[in-house]
Structure 1
Amino acid sequence: MLLAVSFLLLSVGALGATPRFEVSGTVVVTEEALDVRVDVKNAGDAAASSLSVEGELFGERRQARFVAGLLPGRSASTHLLFPLAVPRAGVHALALLLEYPEEGPRDAAGNPPMASQRAYLLLALGGNAEPAVRIEAPELRLDTRGDLRLGLESTDGAPHRVRLRVLTARGVRAETPPMEVDVPARGRAAPVVTLMRSGAARGTRHGILVVAATIDGALERTTVATGVVEIAPTPAWMPSLNTPLFVLALVLLAAAAAIEVRRARGRGLC
């Protein structure tokens, strides 16, 4: 039985020629599992020599691989099978992590550097409901560690309690674990999530997902927002030396002035 046709918005962030994936899918109930078909299109301007797709739903993880990779403009499909038991009827987020090798020097074991992009599918399982909250996720400029200040507002004029989590791709890590947030009927909740740079190259941009799922009510109502984390470029070394160089110049000028005074005294001019 077809439960839902889901549409994906993919959060990406990169510089230069790179694969860029658009994803859609469907979910079908079989006798043995929830069968999620994931359709992936490479809408970027570079090929992915291989591609791994990992999905997480109800705390369960499943993975599939496109061993032959995906050329620009080409599409492919795979299936992720999850347990039939649905903890709660409603709309659920299937979080996806797409990983692929990128150009660069290999490590000691001969493995290429890996890049990743976040994506999601919204699955209506046993019921359908509009999002209960809206999420504002401002762009964050990150050096090593920074706080992402989110905004959550009710969409229907009723208070809600939601479970909030931030999902990152390779190179950026969420230090704050999933949390429960009370969203007022009017006004805004403003939770803060701490993010860490964990290997992301400087000067690059990375997509994140912010997922809020209601805890209250008969049906689960899920909202997903995308955000961007910009990794600060390498600090310029000259500005950091401005003050020491200025002090050194003053010292040298004072020393030169002292030498000239001594010479003048030696010649009987002072």
Structure 2
Amino acid sequence: MNRLYNDKQIKGMVTFYCIGILMLLHHESVYCESPYSTATSDTRTTSDAVSSPDTEYSLRLAHGKYGMVEIKIRNTWGYICPNHFNDADAMVLCRELGYKGGFAYLLIREFDNGLRPLVFSLGCTGTEKMIFNCYSDIRGNVSDCSLDSYAAAHCYNNSGYEFRLVNKSAPGYGLVEMAIDGEWRPFCGYQGFDYNSRAIDYICQNIGYSAGSFVSRSQENPVESVWTTHLSQCDGDPSMLLRCPIILVPNEQPYDSRSSANNRYRWLNSFQCRSGLLPTIKCF
């Protein structure tokens, strides 16, 4: 009997047939998948919180480890309202960014940076793993956000902030120093600090006293860095650092190029602080 096909042709036909079977199986597997299936990844997004499948969020701090909290939702960067932002929110946010913890503060808003508010309130308790697990309220009226400050956080790997007095002659008297994550620097707070009794009271209460008062500005040796050179009135959340809008370091917020007078004032404050004109207070 004559063979219709040689061995080489038969092998080719078998190979072609097998490829066809595999393609058919693949076709069936794709189109038989349930249209209601959901991803099982543990990556959290804001889509679950707002029932919008195209919504994801990203977080960042303006200066890496600290600064204004910026959030991206629906491919748009914005910020969180400062009105209800507190230490519990900052703690969760910093852990999500890979740090041990963090604390909140209000960053003075000297001018509009072009971003708009996207989230009204996070509502964290401080125990959540990420802000996705908090009661995030993006449906609040963001038009009610405070216009004098931004929500800011400072993350740490060891410890938060603490105060001490460099004693001169008696306990409870001396220059103010503050540490963040174990880094001690003089606390300058040049603008408004001398007359800010609530801020001074808070510092004294933090180190075990009831209240305090400003004594004088003492000329010391120049210092390379200080904590905060800008301080406004303390009317913020009691759980916030100093309960005041502040700037932790002189270059934390860009100068407003539209105001040369403001630039000179900020530069003068920074220069006087680092030249050693530091505050002395008395706690009692």
Please indicate, yes or no, whether the TM-score normalized by the shorter chain is above 0.5. Answer: no
Larger % of strand: which? 1
TM-score normalised per structure 1: 0.24
Name whichever structure is richer in helix by fraction. 2
Normalising by structure 2, what TM-score?
0.23
Give the greater-gyration-radius structure (CA).
2
